[in-house]
Structure 1
C-alpha cells in the first residue's frame, strides 16, 4: 500500500506512533481582544509553514497501521478565518486531515473586537514544548508583519523522536520501565484491533478551573520553602481531591505523568528539535483525603528525583512498545494521568492586541476503537499569565471533582510555610 519511497521521511517511532490511530492533534487556543489583521494573520501562518517544514508533512499508515512521516505534497492549506462564537473552541473551519498536512490555524471573529485563534498540530510531531514554540513563533511573525518589520525565515530541520535523541546519547533500555507501579496484566481476551473505519472528527475541550495570581504564587513559594517541587505539590492536591470524591477513605492510587526530557538530556534539545520529548514517570501511594498533602508531595518529588538520578525516566521511552499499540504485553488501565506543561510564556503581540486566555484542547481527525486501556482520569495543568489552571478529561462528574480540586489547591495556597 505504501507510496514511492522518495516520499518517506521516516517511520514514526513508538513515542510518535501512539497518536496516529486517532489522528490526534493537540490544540493551543487563545482568546484575543482587539482588532486582528486578517491579511497579517494569514501571512504569519504562511511564514510559520516555511520556518517549520514538518507542519506541511503528512502521515499515512500501512495496512498494519504503522505510521509514516511523508514529505509535503501539493499546496499548503492556509489559515482559516470565519465569523462565529468565540466563547468556546469548536472544530476548525477547514477539515483537518493528517494525510494533507500536520498543522492548521483556525481564527474565529465575533465582530466585536473579540477573536479566538487556535493552532492545531499533530501530536506525533509536536508535544507541548514544540506546540508552544510554534505558537510563540506565529505570534512573533504576526507582530512583525503588523509592525512592518521584515521577516527572516530560516527553515528548521525536521524534528527527531525522543528515541533518536536517546540513541545519540548512548541511552539504552534498562531492566525496568519505571511504570511498574501502574502496570497490570494484559487481559487474555485482548486481541489485535484492526485499523478499521474511523468516526467523524471530534474535539475534546477539558473542563477547567483557575486560581488567581496571588494563590498561584503562594503555592510556588510553598514548594520552594518545603522541599517539594511545585509539580509534586499540585499532583498531591489533585490525587487527594480525586480520592475524596471517588472514595472518601484512604485508597491506593497509581499515577503516570510525562517529564519533558529536553533540558535533562546532554546536550539539551531545543523545543523544535524534538517531536514528543516526554519520558514517563510513575508512582503509587495510599492517598488519604485527610492526610498531609505536604508529605504526599514530598514522596512524589523524591520518587521523581530518584528515577531521574538513576536514569529510569531517561530510558522509559524505550519500553513504550510493551505498553502502547498492537505489540503491547502490559496494561496501564486505571491509572491517574497528570500532564503538567508548566508556565506558558508571554507571547509577543502588537500594541492594541491582548491575549486574554489560553486553553489546551485535543482534536481527533479520525477516531477509531482504541488499542489499549486508557487512564481512569486525565488532569491537565499549566500556568498562564501567572494563573494556575487545571483541566479535566474523562469523568462525568467533572464540575464536582473540579470543585474539590479548587478547594484543595486553595487550602494549599493558604498553608503557612513554617508548619
Structure 2
C-alpha cells in the first residue's frame, strides 16, 4: 500500500479568521496535534453488509456530532486551532480487501479536512468497520459512544426503522470543565514520583512523514479467567484496575530484571476518566479528552506479593482522587507536554485501561466477533513528548480481558509474561477456595 501523504493546514490567515476559528485547543488537546493522532476502534463482523446503510449511518453520525466535521489548523508556532467545517464532507468508505489486517484506510485521514472517518473493508461474508476519531476532540469514552450510536443507526436503517438525530454542541476540554467547577491548579501535580531528568530542548516540528498505523500486539483471556480476576478483586477489596496494573508491572519487571531477579524501579502513568468523577458529571459527547493522569512508582519485585502491590496502586489512586490531585492534574500538562515543557515523564510504563466495551445494538443476522484499539498518525513529526518505554492498552470485550502492547524489545516474551501473571491472578481465587475447604 502506498503511504498517505498528509498536508498540515498552516495558513495564518485561516487560523486568525474569527469566522473560521471555533477556539484554540487546550493543552490536553494540543498533545495530539503534532502527529495528527486519530484513535481508532475496529470491529470484526460476520454476516451481510448493507453498504448504503453504512454510508447513511455515518452521515447521521456527522449530523449528530458536528465536531467530527470540523478541522484542525496550526499557526507558525504549531499551536492547534479547532476550525469550523469546510465546504465538503467525506463520507464512509467501503472497499473490498483483507478483513484480517488493519492497514492504512482506503481514504486519506487529514485533520485539515475533517476529524472523523469510517473505514469498512468487506470480504466473503465478513467485514471490518473502523471508526477513526481525532484524539484532540475524542477520547475513548467519546469515540466508543460515537461507534455505539453508529451501530444503532445502522441497525435502524437496515430494519427500516426511523432514526432520530439530535445534533450535539461542540465538546469542551477538560480544562474548561475543570474551570466551570472551580478546580484550580495545586502545588502538587501528582507526577512527582515519575518525573525524570529535565527534557532536552524541544525540536522544531519539521516536515511531516507519511501516515502510519499502530496496531498493538495483544493477548486475550477467556471469560472464565477474566471472571475469576474480577471475583478476586471483589473478594480482596481491591479494584480490577489495581490487580491488572500490578500484574502488568510485575510482567515488565520480570523481563527487565537482572539474573538475580532483584526488584526493578518502575514508574507508571495511566489516564483516569473524570466524566463520572466531576460534579455534575460530563456526558460522553460533552468533553473531548476527559482523562486526568494518575501515577505510581515502586520497586517491583517479580516474586513479591501481587495483591499487596495491587493494594498499593489502588490506595494511591484513591488518595489522589479524594485529595483532588487527579482532577487538577490536567492543569500541569504544559509543564510536561509540548515545546514549552520543563519536566520529563520519559521512560515510564503507560497503561490505558478503557474498561468494558458496551454491547452494540446490531441486526439479528450479524455477529461482532472481535474488537481492537488502533492508532493512526496522519502526519507524524519529530516528537516533543515524553515517550513511554511500553504502552499497554487494556479493555474487556464480550467478557474477555484483552491486553495490547506497543513498544518493548521482545513483544512475544513480554506478552507471554503478561499472560502468565494474569493467569496466576485468576488462579488466586481457586487456591483460596481450595484452602477454605
Structure 1 residue 192 displacement after superposition: 3.0
Partner of 1:362: 375
Partner of 1:349: 362
Unpaired runs of 5+ in structure 1?
A: none
Give 3-state SS (helix, strand or coil) of 1:81's partner. Answer: strand
Q: Counterparts of 1:161 and 1:372 in 2: how far apart (Å)? A: 20
Deviations 1:244-274 (A, max 9, x none): 0111421111100000000000000011110
Q: Counterparts of 1:80 and 1:401 in 2: how far apart (Å)? A: 36
Moved over 3 A (4+): none
Partner of 1:236: 246
Contact 1:84 1:108 in 2 (8 A): yes
Q: 45, 54, 65: which one pairs with 2:78?
A: 65
Output aligned runs, 1:103-142, within 5 Å.
103-110=116-123, 112-142=124-154
More displaced stretch, 370-379 vs 231-240: 370-379
More displaced stretch, 86-95 vs 191-200: 191-200
Q: What TM-score, normalized by structure 1, do the two folds share?
A: 0.98
Give 3-state SS (helix, strand or coil) of 1:355's partner. Answer: strand
Q: 138, 147, 166: which one pairs with 1:154?
A: 166
Partner of 1:294: 307
Give 3-state SS (helix, strand or coil) of 2:326's partner. Answer: coil
Q: Counterparts of 2:385 and 2:418 in 1: how far apart (Å)? A: 28
Q: Note if 1:303 corresponds to 2:316.
A: yes
Contact 2:337 2:386 in 1 (8 A): no
Output aligned runs, 1:353-392, within 5 Å.
353-392=366-405
Partner of 1:182: 194
Q: What TM-score, normalized by structure 2, do the two folds share?
A: 0.94
Contact 1:2 1:62 in 2 (8 A): no
Q: Counterparts of 1:264 and 1:310 in 2: how far apart (Å)? A: 12
Q: Counterparts of 2:75 and 2:294 in 1: how far apart (Å)? A: 31
Q: Counterparts of 2:412 and 2:359 in 1: how far apart (Å)? A: 29
Structure 1 residue 225 displacement after superposition: 1.0
Output aligned runs, 1:8-407, within 5 Å.
8-110=21-123, 112-187=124-199, 190-247=200-257, 248-407=261-420
Unpaired runs of 5+ in structure 2?
A: 1-11
Q: Counterparts of 1:83 and 1:181 in 2: how far apart (Å)? A: 50
Q: Counterparts of 1:223 and 1:156 in 2: how far apart (Å)? A: 38
Give the alignment's Cα RMSD to 1 decimal: 0.9
Deviations 1:358-392 (A, max 9, x none): 00000000000001330111011000000000000
Structure 1 residue 151 displacement after superposition: 1.1
Q: Counterparts of 1:84 and 1:7 in 2: how far apart (Å)? A: 38
Number of aligned pairs? 416
